[in-house]
Amino acid sequence: MSPATIFQIHLVLGYIPWLLCLGAYAWPRLKAMDRVEAQRAIATLHSFRFFGLVFIIPGVVGPNLPTGFAVFAAYGDFATGLLAMLALLTVRIRSVFWPFVVAFNLVGTADIIIDYYHGTQVGLPTLAGELGATYAIPIVYVPALMITHVVAFYLLARRQTQAARHLASGAAAVDGISGSSFDLNKENSGRVEGWSNAH
C-alpha cells in the first residue's frame, strides 16, 4: 500500500471515531447545555488552533512541504485560534461574544475547506511524509474541528429558529388579546345599547 493511499485512508477514517464519540457523549451534553456554554465549549477546543503555525517551522515539517499549503494552513489556523480566544474572553459581553463565535466558525471552516483544496492541488497525499510531526493534525485533530464547526452552526441556526418561534408566538398572543378585547368591547356595546333602548 502506497503512502498516498494510506494518507487518504487516514483522512477518511479520521472522521469516524469522532462522529461516534460525538453521538455517544458530546452531542447529548451539548444539546442539553445552555447555548452560551455549548458555544464556549466548542470555542475552547478551537482556541488551541494557534498551534497551526507549526506548519511553517523548518525541521518540524519537511523542506519539500508545498509552501502554498503550509502558509495558508498555518495562518488560517492561527487566525481561527485567536478569534476563538476572543470569543472566550468576551463571554460575559454577549453583544461581542456572538459575533466572535460566528467569526471563528466561518474563518475556521473556510480554512479547513481551502486546506483540503490546496492539499489536493499540490498532491499532498504523495508528499504526506513532508508533514513530519504535523501528520497527526489533519488526521486526528482536523476531523474534530470540522465536526464541531458543523455542530456550532447547527446550534446557532437552532437559536435563530427558536427566537423566531418566540416572536411568532408572542405576536399570536398579542393578536389573541386584541381579538378578545374587540369581542368584549362589542359585547359591552350591545349591552349599553340594550340598556338605552330599555330606558
pLDDT at 49 > cutoff 90: yes
Instruction: Give, in degrees to the nearest 5, the angle at Cα 95 between 92 and 101.
Output: 80
d(CA 112, CA 146): 7
Closest CA relative to residue 155, chosen from 50, 43, 19? 43
161-187 burial: b if 16+ Cβ within 10 Å, else e: eeeeeeeeeeeeeeeeeeeeeeeeeee
What pTM does this model have? 0.80
Please write the tens of the pLDDT for every residue from 140-196.
999 999 999 999 999 999 866 766 665 666 655 556 665 555 555 555 555 545 545
In contact, 141 and 18? CB cutoff 8 Å: no
Please write the tens of the pLDDT for every residue from 61-109.
999 999 999 999 999 999 999 999 999 999 999 999 999 999 999 999 9
d(CA 34, CA 57): 39
Q: Which residue do the cell numbers 454577549 mark?
A: 94
Q: What is the mean pLDDT of the segment spanning 55-66?
A: 96
pLDDT at 127: 96
Q: Angle, nearest 10°, between helix axes 94-121 and 142-198?
A: 140
pLDDT at 84: 98
Question: Quick one: cell of 45?
Answer: 477546543
Please write the tens of the pLDDT for every residue from 27-41.
999 999 999 999 999
d(CA 68, CA 146): 21
